[in-house]
Amino acid sequence: MIEKILFVSDGIIAVVGNGLEIPDEPPVNVALDVTEFGAVLLIYGLQVSLPVSVLEHLEQADGTNIYFYTSEPYTLVATYRGCVVLERDEVVKVKGAWDYVSSLPSDVGSISGNG
């Protein structure tokens, strides 16, 4: 579970809870899907919720890096677990899709296709 998302100049830092395992090897499949609140990043079998404010930050930041740190109780410094670089074009595409869908009248339908 993601405990906190922090904005940095070249992306974001995702602080994950204690006990959540993030493999040491780079991810094979990374997917970014639009949702009603922003996007969901599918990575390492995890679903990371990214509010639209995070997409806006990644769109304007110097980079699209996501740094993962593990947080443990009573530990002052979080442990670095790895970094994933998203394609800027993918971030812009998902942000554009969210902008479009969020501008539609609510009676037209929803992102999940139930409308």
pLDDT of 89 above 90? yes
Domain extents in the chain: 2-89
- Average pLDDT over the chain, rounded to whole? 84
Q: For 41-50, 87-96, 102-111, which range has the lowest pLDDT when averaged over its residues? A: 102-111
Residue 112: per-residue pLDDT = 55
Tell me the β-bridge partners of 48: 41
Per residue in 41-87, pLDDT (tens digit) is 988 777 888 999 999 999 999 999 999 898 888 888 888 888 888 99
The tokens for 37 are 């609140």
**Beta carbons within 10 angstroms of residue 42's beta carbon:** 15
Residue 59: C-alpha distances to residues 52, 62, 69 (Å):
10, 9, 22
Residue 115: per-residue pLDDT = 45
pLDDT of 27 above 60? yes
Residue 111: per-residue pLDDT = 58
Residue 74: per-residue pLDDT = 84
Coil, strand, or helix at residue 82?
Answer: strand
Burial of 98 (0-12, 13-18, 19+ CB in 10 A): buried
Tally the residues of the chain. Answer: 115
**Beta carbons within 10 angstroms of residue 115's beta carbon:** 10
Higher-scoring residue by pLDDT: 62, 21: 62
Cα–Cα distance, 87 to 113 (Å, whole number): 26
- Element (DSSP H or E) covering residue 26: none
Residue 114: per-residue pLDDT = 46
